[in-house]
Chain A
């Protein structure tokens, strides 16, 4: 191993120039609503195949890492997540932007992403075999419970109450069944519309619920500025000072960084789960572990929430490399493209990769550390210009944001119909916000619905048409216990605290 590691380092140094290029492309792609890193890698596949295998893989991983950071820019500045994984960044990032703390929020995003990349890099370099074993222990039933877990906690944060939160989440799950059944191939909920035969266009729904609905809120109010009247951005929040202050703030939350990093690596290593599941779980964990006085701040600009989302986003990259390099199993769409590159060049795919092409595998793993540095520098330069969006006339911004929302809906499938879906879900989100239905819970249902259904069906079939599998494994039982605890835990803790307080007062 030391020889291969050394050779990998040399190989990486001789191809180092491709990493900043990949990070820059990735940030651009991640910042464009509707464009995903996997889609871009697929478009760039002819280029990746022409390049030498090490160059192709380094470029692919750098694009993936850059995209996971880049999606924070539109999430924070416009409430339009570039990808599903970036949706959680918008929960706390956009409120911070409205408070005049855009540069500060972007500084947090950049530093959390850098730390996430480093954690992902360290974990994938040092713990690859162990992580692969744990990740593979999560079967379909366990993944279903993890998704339900995330849904329940997001529902609990709903201002309209638990019933509305769970209702919105389940509505999202039901909407996600639109299209062809992923297991048996029968069509549901399409109303005969050919554009829905595949599935509901998730990116269009996401952009509509978060971005376009927000545009409509501001159009209704007729505001001219995102900032409140009289509110100015404090001087320490402007420009590089604001960005650096945000970066410093990140290190005040070491547990959020470590927890998010661990979740990102762990879930990233689970085949099929990816950044969207990981960021929701990390956010939910950040809420669960937050001090009681900090909990109400989540969704209104809590730095912990922003850190949890961004550190996890980037740690997922390192996690996703683990099953790809150790077992030959791609954990996400982006990794599937890289698998194609590996097989095209005749590289051994599977547990013996490190034996036959160890230097390339190590070069890819080592590149994550340099990618983290590139994210820091390129991200800071981009953030320096991006935060100024907060100062623009909002009336001028309305058509600009709407065009990006429409293109975000269109870009994935190139159907004008998807633009219509975006508008419809924008209106739905606008009405939901009015009546305190959490759009985020619905979003989680729509984003994770296909995965949830596929894993549910798999568990059901493995269990021979019975739900046994959901309750028999030790991991499932632990997850159910945690799930139940999210409902009964807080009232019990409050009761015990009250009792202790009254007892100490009596003494």
Chain B
């Protein structure tokens, strides 16, 4: 996570907010918005942009302090047993999650969740494949039993069309 230690990393959240705030304000000029909606958006967006600028100015003055993982420190989580390669693991878990979402409708939840669990276990470097397959089967069964059978959720069955209700 080297990127998060740079100035660009510090700017990431405020820039996102700035972009969204600017878009919200610009959007007000494009449609038939009621006066109250316009005022509400101004009341929220303008103070947000000002406070964002103050926060960024503070962080840029002291970049080292800005990237302290506050919540972890706050909860007493300044651990020594941290394993290197964290950025790669985080990126892999996020990418695998996004991959699951994009193929879910196509392959169906049974296959997708089974493969997802195996892939995430690989990403977090748990290389006990027997345990991995057991967890994957159990989690797929849990999803099927709790969410589909008990709660009646409409998960996509994908290529396993015989499961369609």
Contact = CB atoms under 8 A, between A and B. Distances in A.
A388 interface: no
A205 to B, nearest CB: 14
Given A395-B126, A457-B40, A222 B51 contact: no
Interface string A142-180: 000000000000000001110110110011011101000
B131 to A, nearest CB: 7
Contacts of B20: 171, 174-175, 189
Given A423-B101, A428-B16, A430-B90, A223 B121 contact: no
Contacts of A411: 147, 151, 153
A166 B82 contact: no
Contact of B24 (A174, A183, A407, A436): A174
B72 A432 contact: no
A432 B13 contact: yes
A453 interface: yes
Contact of B40 (A99, A175, A407, A453): A453
B61 interface: no
A163 B51 contact: yes
Interface in B1-47: 1, 4, 9-10, 12-14, 16-17, 20-21, 23-24, 27, 31-37, 39-41, 43-45, 47
A454 to B, nearest CB: 10
Chain A interface mostly? helix
B69 A99 contact: no
Interface string B52-95: 10110011000000111111111111011111111101100110
Given A189-B27, A416-B156, A160 B55 contact: yes
Interface stretch (A102-110, A212-220, A343-351, A473-481): A212-220
A99 B74 contact: no
A398 interface: yes
Interface string A186-224: 101100000000000000000000000001110111111
Contact of B79 (A43, A189, A223, A456): A223
Interface string A100-138: 000000000000000000000000000000000000000
Given A300-B76, A411-B153, A435-B13, A174 B44 contact: yes
B86 A465 contact: no
Nearest to B52: A167
Given A170-B48, A216-B94, A222 B155 contact: no
Interface residues of B, number: 89
B40 A171 contact: no
Contact of A221 (B73, B82, B153, B154): B82
- How big is the A interface, by class? 35 or more
Contact of B77 (A98, A166, A434): A98
A427 interface: yes
A170 B44 contact: yes
A492 interface: no
Contacts of A219: 86, 89-90, 93, 123-124
B99 to A, nearest CB: 11
B6 to A, nearest CB: 12
A178 to B, nearest CB: 9
Contact of A166 (B45, B51, B72): B51
B98 interface: yes
Nearest to A161: B58
Contacts of A300: 74-76
A423 B147 contact: no
Contacts of B113: 403
Nearest to B95: A423
A222 B88 CA distance: 11
B110 interface: no
Chain B interface mostly? helix
Contact of A399 (B14, B67, B139): B139
Contacts of A177: 24, 40-41, 44
Contact of A436 (B39, B70, B86, B152): B70
B48 A220 contact: no
A247 interface: no
A228 B72 CA distance: 12
B146 interface: yes
Max chain A CB contacts within 10 Å: which of B32, B77, B84? B77
B133 interface: no
A419 B147 CA distance: 15
Given A170-B47, A173-B44, A219-B90, A396 B27 contact: no
A218 to B, nearest CB: 9
Given A166-B47, A186-B34, A220-B87, A433 B151 contact: no
A105 to B, nearest CB: 13
Given A32-B151, A163-B55, A436-B66, A301 B101 contact: no
Contacts of B58: 161, 163
Nearest to A400: B139
Contact of A160 (B70, B86, B120): B70
Q: Which 5 A-B pairs have the closest CB atoms?
A: A222-B83, A220-B86, A170-B48, A436-B70, A159-B70
Interface of B: 1, 4, 9-10, 12-14, 16-17, 20-21, 23-24, 27, 31-37, 39-41, 43-45, 47-48, 51-52, 54-55, 58-59, 66-77, 79-87, 89-90, 93-94, 97-98, 100-101, 104-105, 113, 116-117, 120-121, 123-126, 131, 135-136, 139, 142-143, 146-147, 151-156
22 contacts: A167-B51, A167-B54, A174-B45, A184-B33, A186-B31, A186-B34, A189-B24, A216-B93, A219-B124, A223-B81, A223-B82, A398-B124, A399-B117, A414-B154, A416-B156, A419-B101, A419-B104, A420-B98, A430-B90, A432-B13, A434-B9, A435-B4
Given A167-B51, A174-B17, 15 more contacts: A43-B152, A164-B55, A167-B17, A167-B48, A171-B17, A188-B37, A189-B20, A220-B1, A221-B81, A221-B83, A222-B83, A402-B97, A403-B139, A407-B147, A435-B12
